[in-house]
A and B are shown apart, each in its own frame.
Chain A
Amino acid sequence: MADYLSQIIFWLGITLITLGVIGAMRRIRLWRQGQSSTVHWKGLLQIPKRYLVDLHHVVARDKYISNTHVATAGGFVLTSVLVIIVYLFGIKGAVLNWLMLFSSALMLVGAVFVFKRRINPPANLSKGKWSRLPYSLLIYSTTFLLLALPATGLLPDYTGSYLMIALLSVGVFWGFSEMYFGITWGGPMKHAFAGALHLGLHRRQERFGGGRSTGLKALDLDKDSLGVEKPEDFKWNQLLSFDACVECGRCEKACPAFAAGQPLNPKKLIQDMVVGMAGGDTAKFAGSPYPGVTGTYKGGAIIPIVDTLVPANTIWSCTTCRACVEECPMMIEHVDAIVDMRRHQTLEKGNTPGKSAELLENLKTTDNPNGYAPDSRMDWAADQNLKVFGEDTQQADVLLWMGDAAFDLRNQRTLRATVALLRAASVDFAVIGNQECDVGDAARRLGDEATFQRLTKDNIATLSKYQFKHIVTTDPHVFHSLKNEYPDFGGHYSVYHHTQFLAELVQQSKLKLNSTSLGDVTYHDPCYLGRYNGEFDAPRYLLESMGISVKEMERSQRRSRCCGGGGGAPITDIPGEQRIPDMRIADAKEINAGTVAVACPQCNAMFEGVVAPRPDIKDVAELMLDATVFEEAH
């Protein structure tokens, strides 16, 4: 009798696993439509470790779901191995039975918690096929638990109970279908199959084991078609990564553009890429839409994405803040995908929205985004007596990179403060003056890789003429580009953000700070300093050195909410329901902050654009200048 059931399980198992393997091959074919990219075979061996360490590091920010996932996934994998050993290979033994009992029970516990979370799911979770998954998990685990109970002798055999046997057969069929067949045929379990491979074959292997890889990949400008027009233009490992998405919606919860009601939802974007890769339409997507966008869109591997599958405004709403990437447990790279599509729109279509065309043209003709005379970059420093490389000196310890703050009245104050602080600490520094060009950050994020590379090469050529030990800049965007993106073009520098450099000076007691009484101060982490470069401590250390105890906003450090100023978003200016900087200042008001300390000229400009009453906006350097103890002149 039990034999009879074993036979059913055997044949169902063989059939559905075979179908599953066929599905896997089909899926792999879909990924292979993409462009070639290095295959990191060694990464495959690291999958278990990456799952347990890197992925769980992210998942564990939500304890409930991380414990649930460990129980469910661990139970499932173990149960499945045992099912194959016991029922397919016919190896029997008491140990195996007890193990099966344990693993299915473990999975059942997990499944119950999955089920509980799904009773009243938050908006960021997808419905549709995902609402079916908890039942499938419950059925799979219960079925094998029930099968293990008599095998271990805890329950009498089901012999004679035809109802039980029928029920278990249905359970086996359902469970196998979802877990072995659906896993490669687009069911919710697809995330496990694609996710595991994606963890192994990730395009940015450096991200695992606590590393960071945030610079955009260089684009070969000699290629026939630039950027991504249609899904098959993505690298194969990007296509694989899209398939890994579990539709958990963590990215959606973190996305400032989504919260502002702009037509972007990173989760939907990734799902749309899956639709494009596999062909079909977006009707089955059961999560939050792009705000303000209705209707069904069609896609295919060789069908252009923008305006057919994804509205153009979707890709232009992104601030490239990386909040989505930071939150994604599957380590999907949304920003790469968005910039890839932007590159095609800009370089091939000449279709960059809003004022971007003007900005890019200005960069071409004047090396700065606003079209000021290139030889007026030093005008702000007319009274500063700065040493200029090439004019006054050929070498200095520090090269102070002024950035486009040089043209901006507000941010010139930050520059002045930084200059005063460097002088107070007797740092030997100089600037490259009017030879400096925009670093190319905005051009690159707007997809104009050609202009970025031109500016990069010009800047590297200028820098190669002088001797310096470090570059210091007050602009995290400059910091990121110089540090993480210039090396691809042969520019290798020791780059400091001014808060990092000043923190070292304070630590070495070269700068002495008084306590200030400023009231409640909060610190806003700039995306390009924090998430992009992992620097959360230096600015906080400086504020604390002034006797300020920083009041943290709810979203801070890794989870800081973008100011809305990155990725060219203020220039593309895609309409939404509210403005991102308003939301961020609301965060600051919620904790009654009187001053928001910032460390980025973009943040400064965005926040100062928020209507009063609002907290004061001050760069950390400006606050420091007020607190610095100047030695008596000798």
Chain B
Amino acid sequence: MTANSSKDIAITTLLSVGQHPLSARPRRAEEDARALEVMLQFAPASMKALHAGDTADAQNLTVLKDYLGMGIPSIDVIPTSADSDAAEALASYLANAGDGQPHILLTGTRSEVGESSGFLPYLLAEKLAIPFVPNICDILSIDMAAGVAEVMQSLPRGQRRKIKTQLPFVASVGMAAAIPRQSSFGAARRGVINTVSSIDTVADEAQTAWKTEPARKRPKRLKVVKAKTAAERFKAATAKVQSSGGEKIYEVDKAAEAILKLLKEEKVL
């Protein structure tokens, strides 16, 4: 397969408005910017960026401009208000995109503000009925003939694993991906924000019942350092955790049973 044909696919990256943890100012979300970087570096034939949010907000707009500054010519924006369900809007937009439906849909692993549940890519994959690969850091290759893509997934402690998945699929990009490129003022100025108007947004019913309050700092478990030498510390920081006990369950029913049992044991249910 030639390199060219492997690029002959469509990728869409979902972008959200992030928030700086110290200044609380809106900014490019770090993971979304990385997802955009993965897309720009892979440089497929068709690249799209998609955002669902409030376009009337000037601060949101400057953040979208910042993404445009990375060199993507335009961003499609689905106007949604804060109380509507972004997942619904995005899913219905993508489902109705017809030929415009991407082969790969990239997101960050979780948003920097709002619910920040990390659930969005799962929901989208479910609604579009395509696989989901969490926490990737790169797209390695595409085999259009076989309809298969190979991606690099990042695991804890700097470990990586190659995963083959069928096209199309949703993938979330984590912090292990390449640092996003600098946003340039000129490109930001030239970039275009297209508002997509034909989407019916659905109010997020569940959200209205919620009460939100500022997050409390969770107490941190004290670390007991057992390692005596530098070599041991290095090993502790990098070595793969050997799982002890446990078993691999492949049948869905049995797996569900096992999960239920664990939840009961832990008194979650």
Binds B, one of A357-365, A382-390, A417-425, A523-531: A357-365
List of B residues within 8 angstroms of A471 by Cβ: none
> Which stretch in A50-58, A238-246, A348-356, A596-604 binds the other chain?
A348-356
| Residue A170 at the chain B interface, CB threshold 8 Å | no
Known A366-B20, A372-B22; judge A350-B27 contact (CB<8 A): no
Q: Is B185 an interface residue (CB 8 A)?
A: yes
Which single residue of chain B is at the shortest CB-CB distance from A367? Answer: B23
Contacting residues, chain A, for B25 (C-beta < 8 A): 365-366
Q: How far is the CA of A448 from the CA of B71 in the complex (A)?
A: 17
Per-position 1/0 for B68-83, Cβ under 8 A of A: 0111000000000000
A350 and B70 contacting across the interface, CB-CB below 8 Å: yes
User: Which A residues are in CB contact (< 8 Å) with B186?
Assistant: 225-226, 347-349
* Complex contact B185–A450 (CB within 8 A): yes
A373 and B184 contact, Cβ closer than 8 Å, known pairs A350-B69, A364-B27: no
Contact, CB under 8 Å: A348 / B187: yes
B184: contacting residue among A349, A366, A371, A374, CB under 8 A: A349
- With a CB–CB cut-off of 8 A, which chain A residues contact B127? none
For the complex, count residues of B whose C-beta is within 8 A of A. 16
- Residue B7 is within 8 A (CB to CB) of chain A in the complex: no
* Smallest Cβ-Cβ distance to A224: which chain B residue: B186
Interface size class of A (residues with CB under 8 A): 20 to 34
Scan residues 2-42 of chain A and give those whose CB is less than 8 A from a CB of chain B.
Answer: none
A346 at the interface (CB under 8 A from B): yes
> B182 and A352: CB pair below 8 A?
yes
> What sequence of 0s and 1s flags, for each residue 170-199 of chain B, a beta carbon within 8 Å of any chain A beta carbon?
000000000001111111000000000000
Decide if A221 is an interface residue (CB 8 Å cutoff).
Answer: yes
Give bound CA distance, A372 to B186, whole Å: 27
Give Cα A226–Cα B185 distance, bound, in whole angstroms: 9
Chain A residues closer than 8 Å to B27, beta-carbon distance? 361, 364-365
Docked complex Cα distance between A366 and B184 (Å) = 18
Bound Cα distance A365, B62 (Å): 12
CB distance from A153 to the nearest CB of B (A): 72
Q: A364-B27, A365-B25, A365-B27 are in contact. Are A350 and B184 (CB under 8 A)?
A: yes
| Contact partners of B181 in chain A: CB under 8 A | 350, 357
Chain A nearest CB from B64 CB (Å) reads 14
Contact between A350 and B182, CB atoms less than 8 A apart? yes
Docked complex Cα distance between A225 and B185 (Å): 11
Q: Which residues of A contact B22 (CB under 8 A)?
A: 366, 371-374, 376
**In the complex, chain B residues whose CB is within 8 Å of the CB of A372:** 22
Tell me which residues across on chain A come within 8 A of B184, comparing CB atoms: 346-351
The chain B residue with its CB closest to the CB of A374 is: B23
Residue in B27, B69, B71, B182 with the greatest tally of chain A CB atoms within 10 Å: B182
Nearest CB of chain B from residue A205's CB, rounded to whole Å? 30
From B66, B70, B184, name the one whose CB has the most chain A CB atoms within 10 angstroms.
B184
Given contacts A350-B71, A365-B25, contact A221 B20 (CB under 8 A): no
Contact present for A360 and B23 (CB under 8 Å): no
A1 vs B66: C-alpha distance in the bound complex, in angstroms?
A: 81
Chain B minimum-CB-distance residue to A450: B185
Chain A 437-457 against B: per-residue CB contact (8 Å), 1 yes, 0 no?
A: 000000000001010000000
- Expressed in whole angstroms, the Cα–Cα distance for A372 and B187 within the complex equals 27
Cα A366 to Cα B24 with chains together (Å): 9
**How far does the alpha carbon of A266 sit from the alpha carbon of B181 in the complex, in Å?**
30
Known: A357-B182, A360-B182. A350 touches B23 (CB 8 A): no
State in angstroms the CA–CA spacing of A553 and B70 once bound together. Answer: 47
Closest to B184 in A: A350
Tell me the smallest distance from the CB of A373 to a CB of chain B, in Å: 4
Q: How far is the CB of B44 from chain A (nearest CB, A)?
A: 21
Q: Which of A349, A351, A365, A372 has the most CB atoms of chain B within a 10 A radius of its CB?
A: A365
Bound-complex Cα distance A450 to B186 (A):
10
Within 8 A of B (CB), among A322-361: 346-352, 356-357, 360-361
Per-residue interface assignment for chain A, residues 561 to 586, with 1 indicating a CB less than 8 Å from any chain B CB and 0 otherwise: 00000000000000000000000000
Q: Is the pair B187, A351 in contact by a Cβ cutoff of 8 Å?
A: no
Which A residues touch B23, using CB under 8 A? 365-367, 373-374
**Complex alpha-carbon distance, A352 and B183, angstroms:** 10
A444 to chain B, nearest CB (A): 13
Taking the nearest CB of chain A, how far is it from the CB of B57, in angstroms? Answer: 17
- What residues on A are CB-neighbors of B69 within 8 Å? 350
Give chain B nearest CB distance to A633 CB in angstroms.
40
- Provide the bound-state CA to CA distance between A71 and B39, in Å: 67
Q: Is the CB of B183 within 8 A of A350?
A: yes
* B interface residues (Cβ-Cβ under 8 A, vs A): 20, 22-23, 25, 27, 66, 69-71, 181-187
7 A-B pairs, CB-CB below 8 angstroms?
A226-B186, A346-B182, A347-B184, A347-B185, A360-B182, A361-B182, A376-B22
Q: Identify the A interface with B (CB < 8 A).
A: 221, 225-226, 346-352, 356-357, 360-361, 364-367, 371-374, 376, 448, 450
Q: 8 more A-B contacts (CB under 8 A) besides A349-B184, A350-B182?
A: A346-B184, A347-B184, A350-B183, A350-B187, A366-B22, A366-B25, A372-B22, A450-B185
